[in-house]
Structure 1
C-alpha cells in the first residue's frame, strides 16, 4: 500500500504525559506546557507556496488527545497593518447530537473547537487558545440568529477579531503566519471538524492575505494502484463485522452495529460524498479500531466502489439535494448530480435573491417582476421545480442523516428472537419487521431489473408489478413507524408497552448517573430516551431509502412507481414529477424534531414541552430550524404523488407552519433579523404555491357514500386545503383581537407594487382551484358533527363549506374584521367575505375579484 495515498493529520502523542496536559480541553486557558512543542507534532498543511483546503481537524475524539492542525497565511508587507480579523468557514464546529448518557472514561467535551493566531516563528507561550463559542467569535447573521455555533447550521461562517497582541504577532512576507485549529475532544458522537475557507481580513471584511489556495482533489484517492488484495479483504471483513466496534473513544462498550449498519450497506455514501481516506481512518479510530484497520476499510471502499460516479459537488459539507439550477437532466451521466446538491454556494443570502429565484429570474438581477411573471409561477396547473429553485436555507449535511444510535443497539435481539433484526409483535397491529421489509425490497429490485441493462429505466414494469412495488415501499416505511408505537408527540403504544418504549428502557438501562449529572438537565428522562429510540429508527429508514434510490437508480421519473392501475382499462396511471424519490410513505419528513419529540406533561396532564427534543430546550430556534429543514428537504426530494393520504410523505401544513414559526423566532428587531424573517416568508410563499399545485388533482371534494369524515376521500384533496390557500392568508388579517399585517407586506420594500401582484396571483390560484368546481359537490358543514375533534365548521381537518354566512364585524372606523379569535379557527364563510373586501380595498384586479366574489355568492346565496 506504499502508493495508496493517505492524507492523515498528526495528533498529539498519547505517550507524552506532559503533552497531554499541553493539549488541554477547550477551556480557553493557556496550557502549562509549551504550545510550540504541541505544534511541532501538528501537521503543517500550508506554506508560502499555498494552502490546501479543507483543513481536516479530525481524530479519534479522545479529550486526552486533542488534534491540532496548522495553516500558514502570507501577508504582503503593505497589508501587514491592515489585518483586523481572521475569517473562516467551518463544517461542524459545534455539537448537535443528543448528549452522551453511558459511562465514559472521560467526561464529554463541551466546547469542540479552539483557534489561535501564532503569527511568525517564535515563542508561542503567550499565544492563547480561543474557544469557538458564540461569546468569543462573531457569526454571520444567518447562523447567529438560528442558534449559533451549536445551532441549525452545520457549516458556519466565523469571524475572530484580532486583539493588539495577535496583530503584533503577525509577520509579512517572506515569512508566513501560523494559524492553528484544535479539536478539543468528542461529545460522544463527533470526532472533529473541517475548515473549508480561511482568510485574514481588514476591518471591512476584505481579504488581505495573498495565500494561494488549492482544493484537495478526491479523485487522487479514488485510484486502486498499490492497494493490496489482503488489505481489501481485511477491510471488507471489518466493514461488515458486528460486535467489533466500540461506541466511541470515551465509551468502550461494543456495539452490535457494524460500519455497514449505519451507512449504506456497501459504503457507497462514503465514496459518493467523497469522504477522505483520513476521515475514514479517524472515524475508525473513534470506534476503537487501529489506524491500520482504518486504512484497510478505506482500501476496501476505494477498490469495491469504482462504479460509483464522481460528482464534484458531493462533499461531506455540501448538503444533499440542496436546490439550485442545473440539477435536473435526462442522461444517465448527469442524473448522478442530484443527490450531491448544488453546494453551499447555492444557499441564498437575501430575500431579494430568494424572490428572484422563486419566480425564475437571475438571483442577483434587480427585481422587476411583472404580473405575468407572478401568474406563471402561481399557477395550480403548473409544476414548480423545487429541485432547481435555490432557497435561503441550508439543508442538513450527510452526517445529519446518519443514525447516531443504530436500531440494532436500541432493540437488540432477545431470547425469543424478537428485536430489530427479526421484528417485534405489536399487541394490535401484528408483526412489525421493517428490516425484513427492506430486505424484501432489495430482492424485488434485483429480480425485476430492466432486461436492457439500463438501471435507470423502469419503464418496462407492467401495471401489476408497479402496484406490487408501490405497496411494498409503502409498507416498509409504515412498518418502521408502526414499530415505534403511537404517533407524533406521543410515541406510546395504544395497548401495552411497545417499540419506542422498549428501546428507551434498554437505552436507559445503560445510562450512567455521573455522565447524566454532567450533561444537559432534562436530556435523560424517560421521554428523552424515547426520542432517542424514535430518531434511531427513522434515521435508519431514511438511510435505507437513500441507499435504495442510489443502488437501483430510483431518482428518475416518479410516474413509474407512484400511481394507480385503472380498474377499467388495466393501464397504469402514473403521478409525480420528472425526478423524485418513489417512496410514497414515511420518509425524510419524519426526521424533523417536531416528529421525533415525545411531549412532556406535568402532574395535571398539561403539556410542558412539545415540538422540540429534550436536549434542545436551550436552543429552540435551532430545533425549529431543523424541523423546517427536513420538511423543506422532503418537498424537494418527494412532495408526494398528488394522491390520497395527504400526498404522503408530505404534510403541507407542517411545512408552512414551521416556515412561520422559524420566522417568528428569528424576529424582526434588527435589519438583519428582518431580512432573514422575510427570506423565510419567501419559502412560505413557495410552499403555498407548491401545495396548491399538489391538491389540483382528481380527488373529489366530498364523497357522500363515505359517512366517516376521517376516511372520506375529500379530506385528502383541495377541499381540505381551502382554509390554507384562502386569499385571506395573503392579506392583512383582522379579527376580534385586532389587525395583523400580512407576512408578505415586505415585498413592496423589495419592489414597489410587488405585494399587490402576489395578492393578484393568490386570487388567480384560488379561482383555478375552487371557482371551477361545482358548489353542489361540496359537503356542507354540520356544527353538531364532531368526528374531526371539534365542531366541523371550525375543525382543522374540515373540508366543507358553511351552510350560511354571518355578517363580518365592523370596527368603529368602518373597516371590517372576521368574528373569530384566530384565523385558523375562522369559518370559511368569514375568510372569504373578509378576503374579498380586503382585496378590493387593496386594489386587486377587478376581473379576478369578480370570479372569486361570484363563487362566494353562489356558495352562500
Structure 2
C-alpha cells in the first residue's frame, strides 16, 4: 500500500480471498498483520500543500461485490477503536502515534451486513492508504485471512508475495537506465522534502540510505517501493524506475537473503542464526521468532524446547545458564519483544538539511564546528569519511576476512571507531534529557533553531506540545543518531565486519606490539554511541515548568499520551544493542549497552503495564523475563580482569579504571534484586514474583542462581583490593556510598534495623541503601525464603572477611 502520499489521491488496492460454502458460513472476522499501519514519527512542522492524513489506513470488505459497485460500502479506518489488536500490540502502545510495535496483528469483527456480502468463491477486500503525515508513504499488509470463531484461516487460496529475487535477477542486465539512475541516486539538491512539502532538500537518496543503496537490496524492498518513495520525494515514476535499475545492476553480486524484508526486524534473535552465513545475520529470525508466551520465553532463556509442555526447570537447569563463566547467546535466544524495523534506522531528516552549510556557519555538519569550551573541533561527517577510507584501503580480497591486520592496524581502526559516535554525541551536546548548553549553543540547539525557522504557524497550532523548542531538539538528536546508525550498518555490511569482534576490539600493547582481542563469534565492533542511543529515553529533551520542575521526561514530545508504546520502543532499542554488541568483557566494549538503563526500563515497562488485566500482566511478565536475561548477561559481561580499584590513579574517582570493573555492578547483581526487599522507607517486591505463576517455586531457583552468580564474581576477591567508600567524596555527583556510579564497599558495617521481632529492614537515606546494608539484608532474607544454605553461607563468610 505505497504511493506518493497526497490525501487528495489516496492509494487503493484490492486483495482476494477464496471461500467455499462452509467458509462463508463460518467466517466471523478478517484477520491481518500490517507493517506500519499507523504513523510513528513527529507531526509535520512545515506548511503543507494539503492537510496531512489523520488516519493512515482504511479497509472495506466487498465480498462478492465488484469494485465498480463498491461505492456504497463504507471504509473502516484502521485504529485502536475499530480493530481488535493482539494483546502484545494492544497493551504496548496500540496504533496510536508512538506505538511500541511497527508491525501489528489485528482483526475486524464481521457484522451482519458484511457477512451477507460474502460468497462462495472469490471475495474482495480493499485497502486504502489515506495519505502521508509528511514522513510516511504507505504501509504493507503482509498477512490476510478470513477466520472462524476458533481463529482458523478459512480462505482456500494461498498468500502470494512478489518474488523480489526475480526482480534482482532481471536487474542484472545493463540498460541505459542504469547510468541515469546512478546520477539520480547520488544527486544533491534534486529531491523534494515530500509530496506534502514540495521544498527542495539538500540530501540525496545516497545520503539517508547506505551510500551504495545496499540496504534496499539487502532488505528486499521491491522495485515498486523504490519507485513510490522516489515519487514521494518529487521524482517521476520513470525516474524512480531508473533508480531501481541502477541499484539492481550495481548490487547484482550481493547475495539474496530471502528472510530479509522491510517488516522483519533486523537482528531479531532466533534459534540457528549463528549457523547461517554471517551475511544473513542482519536479516534476523523474522517476526515469527518474537515470543508471545511467557512459558516459551523462559524456556528459550534456559535452553529448553518450545514444545507446548509445562515449564519444569530444575535447579541444575537454572544454574547452567546463571553462570558467569558461560556465554548466553543473545543472538539465538528468542525474545518476547519486537526489534525496530529498518525504516526506523533511516534519518527522518538528514543532517545536511538540519544544520547550516558552509565552512564558517555556526554548527556546520558539513564542515565541522566548535561547540566545546576547550575549542575542540568536532567533525562527525569528516570522521565518517576517514573510517570509510581506512576500511576501503585495508580490506582483503576475501570478503569479511580481517585476519590479515597487524596489531598496529587493529589499534588504528579501533582508535578511529571508538570515538566516532562520541564525537557525534558531543556535536549534539549535553546528555540524555538535557541538550542545552549553559553558555552558547550546542549543535542540537543550532539545528533545532534552523528547523523552527521553517515551522508553519498553522501546523504548530494543531498540536503545540509537539512543536516546542525541546520537541525540535528531539527531532534533531534523533535524526543525527539515525544517520550514525546507518553509517555503522553500512560499514558492518559493506566490509564484512560482523564476523568476529576480536579483529577490531581488544587491547594493544605498544611495547610488545601485540594485540589481545576480545569478543564473541559475531557482533558489531562499534564500542561507541550506537543503536542504544535511538531509544526515546536517550533522545528526549526534558520539559520543565517556570520553577524548574520536570514536567516531561523519558518519552518524546509527541508521545506524551502513549507511555507504554514509548517505553516499549526504548526497551527494544536497548535490548537490540545487547544482541548487536554481545560483549567482549572490557571497559569500553559494549559501552553502548548501559546496563542500568536496560534493566531500569525492563522494570519500568513492567510496572507501567501492571496487573490490571490478564493481558497487561502477561506482558509485564515478559518484561520481567527480559530483566532476568539482562541480569544473567551482565553478570557474564563483568566477569573480567579489570582491577576493582587503581589506587595509584589520583585523578577524580569518576575517571578511575575501577569504575568499569565488576565493582561498579555489585549493587545490581546483589541477590537482593531477586527477592522482596524492605528498608525503613520503602518496600520492594520481587521483580520475578510473577514467574511462580508459570512454575511453582521458580523464583526460589532463580534466587539460588543469583547467589551462584554473585559468589562466582565476588567472594573470591580479597577485601584489601576494594576501594572503601568516602561519604564526603562528591566526584560521582552525589555522596560516594549511594552514588549511581559507586564502585566501593562501605568502610564499616552497620547492623540491620530490627523492625519487629525477627523482622529486619535496611537503613536508608532518601530511599537508597548502601551496598553493605543490601548485602547483609540479602543474607538474612534469603534464609527466611529457603535459599540454598551453602550458597548463602559462602556469601556471608565473605562479608565477615570484608567487615570482620
TM-score bracket, normalised by the shorter chain, equals over 0.9
Secondary structure in 2 matching 1:237: helix
Give the Å deviation of 1:421: 1.6
Tell me the distance in 1 between the aligned counterparts of 2:546 and 2:679.
35
User: Which residue does 2:406 correspond to in 1?
Assistant: 462
User: Which residue does 2:220 correspond to in 1?
Assistant: 274
* Counterpart pick for 2:665 among 721, 740, 745: 721
1:315 aligns with 2:258: no
User: Which residue does 2:716 correspond to in 1?
Assistant: 772
What per-residue deviation string (whole Å, max 9, x for no partner) do you get for residues 259-284 of structure 1? Answer: 00000000000000000001000000
Given that 1:236 and 1:300 are in contact with CA atoms closer than 8 Å, whether structure 2 keeps it comes out as yes
Secondary structure in 1 matching 2:714: helix
1:409-424 matches, within 5 Å, as 409-414=353-358, 416=360, 419-424=364-369
Change (3 A) 1:98 1:131: same
Given that 1:558 and 1:576 are in contact with CA atoms closer than 8 Å, whether structure 2 keeps it comes out as yes
Given that 1:735 and 1:822 are in contact with CA atoms closer than 8 Å, whether structure 2 keeps it comes out as no
Given that 2:58 and 2:78 are in contact with CA atoms closer than 8 Å, whether structure 1 keeps it comes out as yes
Tell me the distance in 1 between the aligned counterparts of 2:172 and 2:594.
51
User: Which residue does 2:653 correspond to in 1?
Assistant: 709
User: Which residue does 1:382 correspond to in 2?
Assistant: 326
1:292-441 matches, within 5 Å, as 292-329=238-275, 334-366=277-309, 367-414=311-358, 416=360, 419-428=364-373, 429-441=375-387
Tell me the distance in 2 between the aligned counterparts of 1:855 and 1:567.
38
User: Which residue does 1:170 correspond to in 2?
Assistant: 118
1:743 aligns with 2:743: no
User: Which residue does 1:223 correspond to in 2?
Assistant: 169
Give the Å deviation of 1:79: 2.5
Give the Å deviation of 1:809: 2.4
Secondary structure in 1 matching 2:533: helix
Given that 2:527 and 2:589 are in contact with CA atoms closer than 8 Å, whether structure 1 keeps it comes out as no
Q: How many residue pairs align between the two structures? A: 796
Secondary structure in 1 matching 2:124: strand
TM-score (structure 1 length as normaliser) = 0.91
* Counterpart pick for 2:743 among 777, 787, 799: 799
1:614 aligns with 2:554: no
Given that 2:270 and 2:332 are in contact with CA atoms closer than 8 Å, whether structure 1 keeps it comes out as yes
TM-score (structure 2 length as normaliser) = 0.97
Secondary structure in 2 matching 1:90: strand
Moved more, 683-692 or 116-125: 116-125
What per-residue deviation string (whole Å, max 9, x for no partner) do you get for residues 716-768 of structure 1? Answer: 11111000000000011212245433111222221222221111110000001
Secondary structure in 2 matching 1:793: helix
Secondary structure in 2 matching 1:720: helix
Given that 2:63 and 2:118 are in contact with CA atoms closer than 8 Å, whether structure 1 keeps it comes out as yes
User: Which residue does 2:591 correspond to in 1?
Assistant: 648
Give the Å deviation of 1:172: 1.3
Give the Å deviation of 1:74: 1.3
Tell me the distance in 2 between the aligned counterparts of 1:820 and 1:119.
66
Given that 1:437 and 1:475 are in contact with CA atoms closer than 8 Å, whether structure 2 keeps it comes out as no
Secondary structure in 2 matching 1:232: helix
* Counterpart pick for 1:763 among 697, 701, 707: 707
Given that 2:351 and 2:479 are in contact with CA atoms closer than 8 Å, whether structure 1 keeps it comes out as yes
Give the Å deviation of 1:639: 4.1
Give the Å deviation of 1:811: 3.2
User: Which residue does 2:42 correspond to in 1?
Assistant: 98
Tell me the distance in 2 between the aligned counterparts of 1:647 and 1:78.
56
Secondary structure in 2 matching 1:205: coil
Tell me the distance in 2 between the aligned counterparts of 1:225 and 1:741.
59
Give the Å deviation of 1:208: 2.2
1:118 aligns with 2:118: no
User: Which residue does 1:19 correspond to in 2?
Assistant: none
Give the Å deviation of 1:566: 2.6
What per-residue deviation string (whole Å, max 9, x for no partner) do you get for residues 469-492 of structure 1? Answer: 101011221111111111111112
Give the Å deviation of 1:568: 5.2
Given that 2:330 and 2:582 are in contact with CA atoms closer than 8 Å, whether structure 1 keeps it comes out as no
Given that 1:235 and 1:297 are in contact with CA atoms closer than 8 Å, whether structure 2 keeps it comes out as yes
1:462-861 matches, within 5 Å, as 462-518=406-462, 520-567=463-510, 569-645=512-588, 647-707=590-650, 708-737=652-681, 739-812=683-756, 814-820=758-764, 825-861=768-804
Tell me the distance in 2 between the aligned counterparts of 1:167 and 1:646.
58
Tell me the distance in 2 between the aligned counterparts of 1:214 and 1:98.
34
Change (3 A) 1:813 1:86: farther
Tell me the distance in 1 between the aligned counterparts of 2:691 and 2:552.
35
Given that 2:217 and 2:248 are in contact with CA atoms closer than 8 Å, whether structure 1 keeps it comes out as yes
* Counterpart pick for 1:158 among 98, 106, 114: 106
What per-residue deviation string (whole Å, max 9, x for no partner) do you get for residues 435-468 of structure 1? Answer: 1111111111121123xx2121111111111111
Given that 2:581 and 2:590 are in contact with CA atoms closer than 8 Å, whether structure 1 keeps it comes out as no
Tell me the distance in 2 between the aligned counterparts of 1:355 and 1:365.
12
Secondary structure in 1 matching 2:425: helix
Tell me the distance in 1 between the aligned counterparts of 2:561 and 2:518.
43
Tell me the distance in 1 between the aligned counterparts of 2:80 and 2:135.
21
Q: Higher relative contact order at CA 8 Å, sep ≥6: structure 1 or structure 2?
A: 2
Where structure 1 has 5 or more consecutive residues not aligned to the other structure, the ranges are 1-56
Given that 1:534 and 1:596 are in contact with CA atoms closer than 8 Å, whether structure 2 keeps it comes out as yes
